[in-house]
């Protein structure tokens, strides 16, 4: 019988070594947040994962910066050795620890979402780190936020626009995702909202823009309770779709919903909306599928590049 595929979402910590101006997270949280290894060792987490051999498991790690704590490297390395962990799973990182990732947990099973934060890494530093990871087939995409700081410094420091940045990474086979700055992309009252929206939609499709803005808010069926679970620090398995406890990670217990549930949440995240059943997006390896969709969309655009400056 074919194994079911489920996603386990881990947040190793909300700590981070960066203090980016457009981040949603408070600096105090970035410094003092707890970690998943405070009360349970790496080996306990690994032994828990082994108990889910009856499933194909798609992992997702985010934060904070997952790799700013030691346990993440060892846990990720051991997960990559397990046959039930599928290839292509996503980890969000600011790539400041790229060399340490390569040393401690290299694996083509991992596909990194490599955020480019210009306040902390020069273009050549970012490019060099991403290329090293790409050489090991560990890059899913580079994520670039089209914020005032980033667009200004891209122009002033390097004489480049966003299309130039896309082309530079494209030369090594890496897709650059252009993300809207929440302060502008999620604010229809911004006086240049339509212009900014048009700028971003040169790189992601209008449909994808809508999903990322949570513009599809009607109730619909969603498979999150069947397929996507957050692994809490105490091992309890929860899902975004309800307050229900779905199992215990350390005991190897998982009791998914038998059928899809009705949900009215907006789900404005790439990880979440593929589980909704009012679109045809695949929830497995969702970042890689997102890259493929939007690369094909870019290939259809015939009009000249239009720049945007704040």
pLDDT in the model for residue 57: 98
**Helices 70-80 & 42-50, crossing angle to 10 degrees?**
20
Phi/psi for 301 (5° steps) reads: -75, 125
**Mean pLDDT, range 96-115, rounded to an integer:** 98
DSSP letters spanning 122-191 = -HHHHHHHHHHHHHTT-EEEEEEEE-HHHHHHHHHHHS--HHHHHHHHHTTT--EEEEEPHHHHT-TTST
Assess if residue 223 is contained within a domain: yes
Reported as a single tens digit per residue, the pLDDT across 33-56 is: 999 999 999 999 999 999 999 999
Assess if residue 305 is contained within a domain: no
Query: How many degrees, rounded to 5, is the angle at CA 32 between CA 28 and CA 35?
Result: 135
Assess if residue 308 is contained within a domain: no
Strand partners, 61: 10, 91
Assess if residue 307 is contained within a domain: no
Is the pLDDT at 25 greater than 80? The verdict is: no
Contacts of 186 (CB under 8 A, 6+ apart): 180, 213
**Mean pLDDT, range 188-213, rounded to an integer:** 97
Please report, for the domain that includes residue 140, its CATH number.
Answer: 3.20.20
Share of the chain above pLDDT 90, in %: 90
Reported as a single tens digit per residue, the pLDDT across 131-154 is: 999 999 999 999 999 999 999 999
DSSP 304: P
pLDDT in the model for residue 1: 63
Give exposure, 73-90, as e/b (b: 16+ Cβ within 10 Å): bbbbbbbbeeeebbebbb
Query: How many degrees, rounded to 5, is the angle at CA 150 between CA 145 and CA 152?
Result: 140
pLDDT level of residue 278 (50, 70, 90 thresholds):
very high
Strand partners, 35: 13
Q: Which of 115, 76, 114, 111 is nearest to 90 (CA)?
A: 111
Assess if residue 306 is contained within a domain: no
Domain span at 246: 5-300
Assess if residue 167 is contained within a domain: yes
Assess if residue 33 is contained within a domain: yes
Contacts of 256 (CB under 8 A, 6+ apart): 6, 225, 226, 227, 229, 246
Report CA 145 to chain centroid distance, whole Å.
13
pLDDT level of residue 27 (50, 70, 90 thresholds):
confident
Number of domains in the chain: 1
Rounded (to 5) percent helix, strand, coil in the chain: 35, 20, 45
Q: Is residue 287 within 8 Å of 90, Cβ to Cβ?
A: yes
Assess if residue 155 is contained within a domain: yes
Is the pLDDT at 188 greater than 70? The verdict is: yes
């Amino acid at each position: 019988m074919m194994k079911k595929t489920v996603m386990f979402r881990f947040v190793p910590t909300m700590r981070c070594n960066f203090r980016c101006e457009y981040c949603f997270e408070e600096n105090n949280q970035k410094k003092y947040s707890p970690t998943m290894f405070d009360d349970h060792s790496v080996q306990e987490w690994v032994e828990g994962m082994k108990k889910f051999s009856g499933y194909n498991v798609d992992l997702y790690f985010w934060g904070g910066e997952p790799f700013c704590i030691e346990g993440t490297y060892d846990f990720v390395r051991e997960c990559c050795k397990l046959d039930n962990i599928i290839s292509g799973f996503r980890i969000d990182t600011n790539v400041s620890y790229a060399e340490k990732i390569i040393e401690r947990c290299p694996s083509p099973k991992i596909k990194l979402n490599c955020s480019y934060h210009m306040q902390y890494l020069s273009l050549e530093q970012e490019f060099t780190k991403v290329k090293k990871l790409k050489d090991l087939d560990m890059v899913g995409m580079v994520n670039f936020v089209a914020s005032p700081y980033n667009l200004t410094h891209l122009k002033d420091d390097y004489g480049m626009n966003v299309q130039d940045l896309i082309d530079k990474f494209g030369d090594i086979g890496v897709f650059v995702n252009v993300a809207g700055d929440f302060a502008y992309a999620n604010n229809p009252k911004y006086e240049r909202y339509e212009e900014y929206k048009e700028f971003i939609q040169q790189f992601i499709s209008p449909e994808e823009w809508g999903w990322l803005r949570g513009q599809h808010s009607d109730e619909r069926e969603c498979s999150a309770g069947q397929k996507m679970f957050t692994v809490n620090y105490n091992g309890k398995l929860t899902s975004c779709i309800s307050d229900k406890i779905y199992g215990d990670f350390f005991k190897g217990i998982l009791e998914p919903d038998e059928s899809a549930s009705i949900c009215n949440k907006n789900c404005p995240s790439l990880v979440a909306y593929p589980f909704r059943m009012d679109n045809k997006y695949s929830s497995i390896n969702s970042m890689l599928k997102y890259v493929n969709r939007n690369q094909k969309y870019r290939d259809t655009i015939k009009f000249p590049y239009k720049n945007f400056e704040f």
